[in-house]
Amino acid sequence: MHHFTPFAALIGGILIGLSASAMLLLEGTIAGISGICAGVLNPAKGDTAWKVCFVAGLLAGGMLLRTVLPAAFDFGIIRPYGMLILAGLLVGFGTRLGNGCTSGHGVCGIGRLSPRSMVATVTFIASGALVVYLVNHVLGGSL
Amino acid sequence: MKADLVSFLCGIVFAIGLGISGMTRPAKVIGFLDFTGAWDLSLAFVMIGAISVFFVAYRLSRKMRTPLLAAQFSIPKRTDLDAQLISGAAIFGAGWGLGGFCPGPAITSLASGAMPVVVFVAAMAAGIYLYAIVQRFGRTRAAHVALASADS
């Protein structure tokens, strides 16, 4: 059973929003993590340093969480390796094809009231829900 | 240099936000997407918090000629809906529901050292490269088609 944690979720969400806001107001960029990852993996001249620094920050933040809030890495559910590999491929490919993920579309795009991001967000939540339904309720949580 | 430090610090704050909010826990993500099971609405509050703050910041940015540490804003301008956007989002969502990780939490969770996360991130990187290859192939083919039709 999972616990409903609206307060922690809201605080965490505000921190995510503050980070994305600082990137926008200070650097003029959208903190879309899938785009940042792609930029690190396929570097383009003059537009890579900030992405590498942001990813380094995510990792440093992760190290901090590990000591201060280890519960953040109580994953709860870890899918089998085959499923994780397929999931990773879909996430990597899909975010490039659709130009964004939960941060770029779900937070920054909706915050800009972008119709593309609203449609993308509704779409990825719906397809995620469909897959969870299939895996959890049709296949019984195992593949 | 200052901008790079800002990016690094923003990455840290972003990661802490992900950790506090529950986004780094696939159980929470899958619980949020499990509408017909024990639905856990928590992650909707992550979106409410993050979007509200960013909404205000974006309004503010519209009043600024340039960002504080850079020459210009680089913000997507497209407003059209196309099949590529929707199919990409659908494919991403399928992977998100399957693994319970999206890109930010996956990168952050690498710090846990857990092998499943390492495997997921490696596969995600492969997916990103796969798209780059497909796109390059598509462009080459389009160029050939354009050349062929120009010849005839």
Q: Domain tally for chain A?
A: 1
In a domain, B12, yes or no: yes
Give the pTM: 0.94
In a domain, B89, yes or no: no
Q: Which of B3, B15, B99 sits opposite A62 (nearest CB)?
A: B15
What does the pLDDT average to over A35-47? 92
Residue % of chain B over a pLDDT of 70: 98
Instruction: Considering only CA atoms, give the Rg of chain B.
Output: 20
Task: Return the DSSP state at B117.
Answer: H
What does the pLDDT average to over A41-50? 90
> Does residue B147 surpass a pLDDT of 80?
no
Q: Which of B8, B85, B98 sits opposite A86 (nearest CB)?
A: B98
> Does residue B152 surpass a pLDDT of 60?
no
> Does residue A47 surpass a pLDDT of 60?
yes
Tens-place pLDDT, residues B43-86: 999 999 999 999 999 999 999 999 999 999 999 989 999 999 99
In a domain, A64, yes or no: yes
What does the pLDDT average to over B15-39? 95
In a domain, B17, yes or no: yes
Residue % of chain A over a pLDDT of 90: 90
Cβ neighbours of A17 in B, within 8 Å: 17, 49-54, 57
Average of per-residue pLDDT values in chain B: 94
Instruction: Please tell me the distance from the alpha carbon of residue B93 to that of residue A86, in angstroms, as a whole number.
Output: 12
The 3-class SS string of chain A reads CCCCCHHHHHHHHHHHHHHHHHHHHHHCCCCCHHHHHHHHHCCCCCCCHHHHHHHHHHHHHHHHHHHHCHHHHCCCCCCCHHHHHHHHHHHHHHHHHCCCCHHHHHHHHHHCCCHHHHHHHHHHHHHHHHHHHHHHHHCCCCC
- The pLDDT value recorded for residue A1 is 42
Tens-place pLDDT, residues B30-41: 999 999 988 999
Calculate the CA B61 to chain-centre distance: 21
In a domain, B20, yes or no: yes
In a domain, B105, yes or no: no
What does the pLDDT average to over B18-30? 97
Question: Domain residues for B22?
Answer: 2-80
Q: Which of A9, A42, A50 sits opposite B46 (nearest CB)?
A: A9
> Does residue A15 surpass a pLDDT of 90?
yes
In a domain, A143, yes or no: no
> Does residue B7 surpass a pLDDT of 80?
yes
In a domain, B34, yes or no: yes
Question: Domain residues for A91?
Answer: 6-138
B136 touches chain A (CB under 8 A): no
CB contacts under 8 A, B 85-124 vs A, are 85-104, 106-112, 114, 116, 119-124
Structure tokens at A62: 């992760």
